[in-house]
Structure 1
Amino acid sequence: MTGDRKMEGLAAAVDRFNTHYVYVVDNDVSSWPECFAEDGGYHVLTKDSASEDLPAGFLFFERKPQLIDRINALLNASIYPKANLRHLIGACKIHEATGDRIKATAPFVVYESREQEVPSVYATGQYEDEFIRNEGGELLLLSRRCALDNDIVRTMMALPL
């Protein structure tokens, strides 16, 4: 496979993964941790913090068990205002691909809908991802940084971005 065709194939695989990811967070959030490798991390921070590699942010989870705990608490213990989030994600850009790892970015926007309210933009930003292929060849997130364009969110950030 030529270099351009290989990159196109990788971009298509990442875009398929991202389509699945936003379906899961919008429709089956209990399956969200399955999108991550065992040592996969998830961070939500501002784009300024991301660009300067600063640790300040909204959420930091370093491993999949922490993501599972987050979802269990969300589904079974947390009380938060009922809202529906709808994620839209743009096409990815592959930045690096070596061995079984891929580094990519993709823009996103998340809308929030509540009963008897006009839907509003909840967050915009960019996913900064590192993927790894599992033994079956499927992509899993080794790291997802959600670099937000906004530095505040309207409500408690209960659901994943």
Structure 2
Amino acid sequence: MSGARTVGELDFATYFSLLNLYADYAVVVDSADWARWPEFFTEDGRYRLQPRENYEQGLPLCLLALESQAMIRDRVFGVKETMYHDPYYQRHIVGTPRVLAVEGERILAEANYAVIRTKLDGESTVFNAGFYRDEIVTTPGGLRFASRLCVYDSEMIANSLIYPI
């Protein structure tokens, strides 16, 4: 990222990279390319899944809290090697990211999302909906998540959460 910016402003090239980060993330998790999922995060990157009620009340409890890229890799191992479940496809529909702040090489952004789940023997249903609240940083490898908070709207999540949101 280069050039002078004010809060909420990015140059076109950086904003285009931000759009690609969101789109590429959705493609990777929708295609079950689990080996690539941790690459979207910095080494100390955090991934958390939190109900909206807790988020709005400032309560820290999350359904899932991975506090480093190593923990994210461990989750990948669990998804690939140890979890047994009915197979399903998922499809992310992600809104255009809204830039909330730009502080040096750090971007705070959020985007709405919906995840559609399709079981092999069933119809497609809305599995999860909410918004991402992301802290993104510039690295030598491009933009990466320093923190991805998935705030989901429903208090209930059908069955168990296996794949990343």
> Could you tell me which amino acid in structure 2 is paired with residue 123 of structure 1?
N
2-structure distance, mates of 1:71, 1:111: 20
Residues 139 and 151 of structure 1: CA distance in aligned 2, closer, same or farther (over 3 Å)? same
Cα deviation, residue 2, structure 1: 6.8
Aligned equivalent of 2:131: 126
Q: 5+ unaligned residues in a row in structure 2: which ranges?
A: none
Aligned equivalent of 2:10: 7
Q: Secondary structure at the match of 2:18?
A: helix
Aligned equivalent of 2:85: 80
* RMSD over equivalenced CA pairs, Å: 1.7
Q: 5+ unaligned residues in a row in structure 1: which ranges?
A: none
> In the comparison of the two structures, how many residue pairs are matched?
160
Identity %: 25
2-structure distance, mates of 1:30, 1:52: 35
Matched ranges for 1:47-66 at <5 A? 47-66=52-71
Residues 64 and 71 of structure 1: CA distance in aligned 2, closer, same or farther (over 3 Å)? same
Query: Following TM superposition, where does structure 1 have runs of at least 4 consecutive aligned residues deviating by more than 3 angstroms?
Result: 1-6
Contact 1:11 1:93 in 2 (8 A): no
Cα deviation, residue 12, structure 1: 2.9
2-structure distance, mates of 1:6, 1:149: 28
Cα deviation, residue 99, structure 1: 1.1
Aligned equivalent of 1:90: 95
Normalising by structure 1, we get a TM-score of 0.92
Pick from 14, 17, 25 the counterpart of residue 29 of structure 2. Answer: 25
